[in-house]
Amino acid sequence: MFYRLLIFPVFFIVIANPFYINAETLKFDEYEVKAAFIYNFIKFIEWPDELPKNRPVPINLYVLGYDPFGKALGSLQGKQIRGRTINIKRAGSPKGLINCHILFISSSEKQHIPEILRSIKGLNTLTISDTAGFAKKGIIVNFYTEGEKVRFEINLDAAKRANLTISSKLLGLAKIVRDSQSIGEN
């Protein structure tokens, strides 16, 4: 019996060790994961300024409010995707944002969603957040966690208003939500 018991620590050491010596076994910080999601979204979303004749313009990604990403978002700075370069910027206020392709709205802005949405109206901005209930308030993509995994919901009404085309593949992975009545007439 004793020897049978020994099998397992031995297994733990022998089998497991080679794995973690070779592999890059590093942390997955929640916001690193979310940053990688945002990077991926760009592949599946078409902005109206992407007409075939136009020269590719950079994609401007703004963070509004308290920045929960730390260094995670910085790793996207300067990255190329579909010929477009990603620019990361901080926004102090939603007013005066021009050429804002992606706007991450921090949960610190909970009280100001209607004003924010009003001031970026007509900008073709992909709004992203990770606060419960934000999608129904008119944010296009909202992260949430299910079990231990990061999921996202997409508000189709909001995407339509921003004039963005979202590929069906991305929609298939998302939980689809619609506006709650109170902002339906927006």
Partner 1 sequence: MQNNHINMYYEKEFSLPLILIFIIASIITMTVGNVFAAEQASGSRSDLTGLNIEQLMDIEVATVYGASKFEQTVLEAPSSISIVTASDIKQYGYRTLADILKSIRGFYTTYDRNYDYIGIRGFSRPGDYNSRVLLLIDGHRVNDNIYGTASIGTDFILDVDLIERVEIVRGPGSSLYGTNAFFGIINVITRNGRDIKGMEVSGEGASFGTYKGRMTYGNQFKNGLNMLLSASAYDSKGQSLYYKEFDTPDQNNGRTDGCDYDKYKSLFGKISLRDVVVEGAFITRQKGIPTSSWGTQFNESGSKTTDNLGYVDVKYERNFEDKFDVMARFHYNRYKYEGTYVSTPVNKDSALGEWWGGELKLGKTFFEKHRMIFGIEYQDNIKQNQENYFINPDFTAMDDRRTSMNWGVYLQDEFTILENLTLNAGVRHDHYQTFGGTTNPRIALIYNPFDTAFIKLIYGEAFRAPNAFEYYYHDGNVTTKSNKNLSPETIKTYELVYEQYFRNQLRLTASGFYYKIKDLISQQIDPADGLLAFNNVEEVEAKGLEFELGRKWKNGFEGRISYTLQETKNLDTGRLLSNSPKNMGKLNMICPLINKKLSAGLELQYTGAKTTINNNNAGGFLTGNLTLFSKDFYKGIEASASVYNIFDRAYNDPGGPEHVQNKIEQNGRSFRLKITYRF
The answer to whether 118 touches 141, Cβ cutoff 8 Å, is: no
Q: Which of 63, 88, 91, 136 binds partner 1 (CB under 8 A)?
A: 136
Three-class secondary structure assignment of 144-155: EEECCEEEEEEE
Gap between the Cα atoms of 107 and 129, Å rounded: 7
The DSSP call for residue 171 is: H
101 lies in the binding site for partner 1 (CB under 8 A): no
What single letter denotes the amino acid at residue 53?
K
Phi, psi of 67 (to 5 degrees): -90, 105
In the structure encoding, which two tokens stand for residue 170, read together? 């991305």
Q: Which of 50, 57, 67, 79 binds partner 1 (CB under 8 A)?
A: 79
Helix segments in the chain, DSSP class H: 2-22, 30-44, 113-119, 156-161, 168-173
Q: Which of 40, 93, 107, 165 binds partner 1 (CB under 8 A)?
A: 40
Q: Which of 68, 123, 124, 151 binds partner 1 (CB under 8 A)?
A: 151
37 lies in the binding site for partner 1 (CB under 8 A): yes
From 53-61, 87-95, 115-123, 145-153, give the range in contact with partner 1 by CB under 8 A: 145-153
Contacts with partner 1, residue ranges (CB under 8 A): 1-2, 4-6, 8-9, 11-13, 15-17, 19-20, 23-30, 32-33, 35-37, 39-40, 75-76, 79, 110-111, 132-133, 136-137, 145-151, 170, 172-173, 175-178, 180, 182
